[in-house]
Amino acid sequence: MTQPVRVAILFSARGSNMQRLAHHLAKPSVGGEFVLAITNRPAAGGIEFCKAQGVPCAVIDHEDYETRAGFEAEMQKALDKAQVDLICAAGFMRLLTADFVTRWHDRIINIHPSLLPAYKGLNTHARVLADGGKEHGCSVHYMRAEMDDGPIILQKRVPVHGKDTADTLSARVLKLEHIAYPEAIKQIALKSGF
């Protein structure tokens, strides 16, 4: 029998996508196991969730390091110790260096609130509305060195309504994110050669 894919989740705030993924990974049919969470913010709300679930959570404050490389070296130690196969960035608000991303080539994925390659970066919902966009959504993709770049694993779409605000659109897209990320993990676990 194939061993489950050992998953680490990176997050920076309340960790809503992390929590959704954790519940998904707890299902035996998924083929993945949530073995480590890493946050770069000591006050991140998701830390309490990890404690309650009994999942190790490494708090590695990026402000404690003079360089991004130093910060990432500490993350790498935690990932190695947990024998991680796949990293999921879920609301992790730090750009990772090309060296780190290359080391985890096709083993680090990200979720982004837009239909990539459109609207890379921040404030995607407001930008779609400002442009008069008719459709919005989210993308799960393999991470590459360039921000919000890399092969798309899957996307979920939602129509933009005339009365939408950035907040209402964000709420609808977040619901899609909570569906899309678990689906992407399942796809990867089914075809993985980890």
Count CA atoms closer than 13 A to 141's CA, side-chain side. Answer: 21
d(CA 116, CA 35): 29
d(CA 153, CA 175): 18
Strands across the sheet containing 152-159: 57-59, 32-39, 5-11, 86-89, 108-112, 135-142, 152-159
Catalytic pick among 24, 62, 112, 136: 112
> How open is the CA angle 150-105-83, to the nearest 5 degrees?
135
- 112 belongs to the catalytic site: yes
DSSP string of 66-101, one letter each residue: SSHHHHHHHHHHHHHHTT-SEEEESS--SPPPHHHH
- Asked if 89 contacts 143 with a C-beta cutoff of 8 angstroms, the reply is yes
Dihedral angle sign, alpha carbons of residues 36, 38, 42, 46: negative
Active site residues: 112
